[in-house]
Amino acid sequence: MKKKTLTLGLVVLLILSMMLSACAPQQQAPVDQPTPAQEKVVKISLDNEPPDIDPQVGTDLMSIMVGGHVLEGLVRVYDSKVQPGMAEKWEISEDALTYTFHLRDAKWSDGVAVKAQDFEYSILRLLDPKTAAGYAEVMGFYIKNAEKYFKGEITDKSLVGVKATDEKTLVITLENPTGYFIRLLGFMCFLPSREDIVAKNGETFAADPDKMVYNGPYTLKEWKHEEGLTLVKNPNYWDKDKVKADVLDLPIIIEPKTSINMFETEELFASAIPEDMLDTYVQNGKAKFMPNGGLYWLQFNLGSKTNNKVLNNLNFRKAISYAIDREAIMKAVIKKGDPATRYVPSNIMGLNDKFSKENPLDAISIKADQAKAKEYFEKALKELNLTADKFPTIKLLGADTTAARQYCEAVQDAILKNIGVKLELVNVPSKQRLQLVNQRDYEMVYANWFPDYDDPMTYLDIWVTGGGFNRSDYSNAKYDAAIKDAKAATDEKVRQQKMFEAEQLLLEDMPVIPSHWGAYAYVQSDKIVNYVRSLVGSDPDLTYVDLK
């Protein structure tokens, strides 16, 4: 009995103790030792090493993607919409020539204030011929006296239409009214560099995380070249409260199958779909598609030191175009997007509707036409004073990705079958391919162009004589005049007409042979939101990406 009574007493005491404990206030963690929240890490792969994230020099898609996350221009183009960036507001003069930007209070990643002088310096740096910026002409020449400064016709920087009137005010004056100019300012080449950091690092500027400073939503924490990059949320970014991800983990994964396997094992939140797996993902309903505005083409080096006469022969280039079965290649190899029937892609805006609808043109057959291919090839042989058996082998340069290799092989087979010309395939890493093209060390190349802004001009003005991106060395005075007239036009209908004239001239001369218009086929995890695929600018745009 005694033992039982004691046990019961202990039970009563235990219950009372638990009740008192439950009623008592809980001890709080010290304010200076908060429980750390779990970091939000978003892991998305890049398919190539960014060659150069120097904002005035970088030109490729990977550099543009990274640059758009660690830097911010006067405006930010997000999900195809222009938003205030470093400029919180701006005014445009009645004659549409003068833009006055008012900068917000913002800081660089090292705590230094972002100033209007940073943008004045960066734009002048873009236009300085010593910078050798590829986008100086196609983006910068809208600014008053920019072309003259770039070409050395004037040396006084103060004559160029960009001026910081104080630390918070930047004034940009244009040569001609340009309705889409405000959209251009969100592009890579107009993102800011800081003069003291550029001077300090010289040729190594932007080559590593510690070789630049950042004013965008993220900063570059780590860059293991050829392996991956790590971006972290920028605590000094003016809009940091809307940035939800703490870390952007961007491994470099060249092979799509490796990427898709990592997605399936939940190591990545999104992935491109390999061409040979696309049908499977379409059938299971996971595939997503987005026309990306990409124009893929075969480009000829008209200034080639070897086979120059052959590559410069228009009938030979036409024979190549007719020998290619774009529809068959799309079905067998590319599997997304559409065969190109003209140069400007069908999803690019015109005056009030798509440019292609307002200016209809079916200049290219999507199926191979062997009879016409042979007809033009025979004309070329006569003009070149060659016989088919003596016709030289042409080198076709392409990237070393699976998709590029398969495309080049399909073109190689089609041309050999339809006109008997042999192509030697040269597939190299994308960075090397770009270097070879820049150095004009190629004969033919499988290349592409993606829009910098939603307007036909982004595809057309690259082919003016001597243009920075005219790596074909194509030249036609009538074409140059059409582009010049389009840029000078104050009447939008006239501008559209001149661009259409330029497109037709380009298709007649064929320095490039349009192949297809691209689309992204990808999968995306249900665990992420605000994963934005973008026609222009950073793609994907992870500025406001978040995890559920």
Using DSSP's 3-state secondary structure scheme, residue 419 falls into helix
| pLDDT tens by residue, 33-55 | 333 468 999 999 999 999 999 99
Burial of 196 (0-12, 13-18, 19+ CB in 10 A): exposed
State residue 37's pLDDT score. 63
Which CATH number does 292-521 carry? 3.10.105.10
Cα–Cα distance between 344 and 360 in angstroms, integer? 11
Output the pLDDT for position 468: 86
Report pLDDT for 80.
84
Burial class (CB in 10 A: 0-12, 13-18, 19+), 122: buried
pLDDT at 535: 87
Burial code (b: 16+ CB inside 10 Å, e: under 16) for 393-429 equals: ebbbbbbebbbbbbbbbbbbebbeebbebebeebbee
Which residues on neighbouring strands pair with residue 90, listed in sequence order? 101
Instruction: Report which residue type is found at 86.
Output: M
- Whole-angstrom distance, CA of residue 150 vs CA of residue 178: 20
Residue whose C-alpha is closest to residue 73's, from 227, 181, 235: 181
Edge-first strand order for the sheet with 87-92 is: 87-92, 98-103, 169-173, 162-166
Cα separation, 219 vs 146, whole angstroms: 31
> Cα separation of 376 and 405, whole Å?
27
Contacts of 446 (CB under 8 A, 6+ apart): 296, 297, 298, 299, 396, 397, 398, 399, 404, 407, 408, 411, 515
Neighbour-count burial of 94, counting CB atoms closer than 10 A to its CB (0-12 exposed, 13-18 middle, 19+ buried): exposed
pLDDT of 282 reads 94
Tokens of 157: 């920087």
Across 173-194, b (16+ Cβ under 10 Å) vs e yields bbbebbeebbbbbbbbbbbbbb
Tracing tokens 């001026």 back to the chain, one arrives at: 163
Instruction: Choose among 294, 299, 272, 271: nearest CA to 344.
Output: 294
Query: If DSSP codes are grouped into helix, strand and coil, which group holds residue 107?
Result: strand
Cα separations in angstroms, 163 against 47, 55, 159, 166: 39, 19, 9, 9
Per residue in 51-100, pLDDT tens?
999 999 998 999 999 999 999 999 999 988 999 999 999 999 999 999 99
Residue 541 contacts residue 78 (beta carbons within 8 Å): yes
SS3 224: strand
For residue 438, count other CB atoms closer than 10 A to its CB: 15
Give the fold, CATH level 3, of 51-219: Dipeptide-binding Protein; domain 1 (3.90.76)
Can you list the alpha helix ranges (DSSP code H) found in 56-180? 61-70, 116-127, 135, 146-150
pTM above 0.75, yes or no: yes
Using CB atoms within 10 Å of the CB of residue 140, give its burial: 0 to 12 exposed, 13 to 18 middle, 19+ buried. buried
Give phi and psi for 361, each to the nearest 5: -165, 125
The answer to whether the beta carbons of residues 225 and 200 sit under 8 Å apart is no
Q: For the chain, where do the domains classified as CATH 3.10.105.10 start and end?
A: 292-521
**Amino acid 305: pLDDT:** 84
pLDDT for position 232: 98
Where do the CATH 3.90.76.10 domains begin and end in the chain?
A: 51-219
Long-range contacts of 106-109 (CB under 8 A, 24+ apart): 106/215, 106/236, 106/237, 106/238, 107/215, 107/236, 107/238, 108/194, 108/213, 108/214, 108/215, 108/236, 109/213, 109/214, 109/215, 109/219, 109/234, 109/236
Report DSSP state, residue 489: -
Dist CA 337 CA 47 (whole Å): 19
Spell out, as residue ranges, where the chain has pLDDT lower than 70: 1-37
Residues 6+ apart with CB under 8 A from 369: 322
The residue type of 23 is C
Q: Cα angle vertex 398, ends 184, 506, to 5°?
A: 55
